Amino acid sequence: MKYTTLAVLALCTCLSSTAIAEPKQLEWDDLIPPGIPYSEIIGEGFTDEANDTWRPEYDPNGYLLNRELDGKLVKIPGFVVPLEVDTHGMHSFILVPYVGACLHTPPPPPNQLILVHTPAPWKSKDPWEPIWVTGELRAHVQSGEIAETGYAMAADAIEKYDWD
């Protein structure tokens, strides 16, 4: 009887530890493939055309995405550019690395934009407030009215980002 109980406890412990995965915490430069310096993507959406390693010949699909992150559970901070909003809250938005991205031209490059869908509407009290978004990241380019996004995510969790 003792061995059966111990075996069940060991199995439950093993299953619970593998079933609940911790998200990988990302920074925005993690979205650029390894080996490409972040300086290739410079502030306020401009690309470094003089050192154009972001051009299509460097990526078979024409976009410089970190495909190693495809399908990974991640957590990343950012700011919101609302897309689909109704009286219940926000259903989709673009997560961007800095306030005002996508509200000017040119927008940041696709590898610095994440299209986020929320299973339940998210009620934002302050659209300029930084947030954390947790979910499965997909390297998936989509063209929209505002910008081309390089990644997509279904948000499992959205929470306020604290500067502490």
User: Model-level pTM?
Assistant: 0.76
| Cis? peptide before 106, omega within 30° of 0 | yes
Contact present, 121 and 86 (Cβ < 8 Å): yes
Please, which pLDDT band fits residue 135 given cuts at 50, 70 and 90?
very high
- The rounded distance, in Å, linking the Cα atoms of 89 and 92 is 9
Output the pLDDT for position 128.
Answer: 79
CATH number for position 125: 2.40.50.870
Output the pLDDT for position 104.
Answer: 66
**Model pLDDT for residues 21-76, shown as the tens digit of each residue:** 899 999 998 998 887 766 655 544 445 555 555 454 555 555 688 999 999 999 99
Query: Is 15 domain-assigned?
Result: no
What is the count of structural domains for the chain? Answer: 1
- The rounded distance, in Å, linking the Cα atoms of 38 and 49 is 14
Please, which pLDDT band fits residue 137 given cuts at 50, 70 and 90?
very high
Query: Is 7 domain-assigned?
Result: no
Domain that holds residue 133: 23-160
Query: Is 31 domain-assigned?
Result: yes
Query: Is 146 domain-assigned?
Result: yes
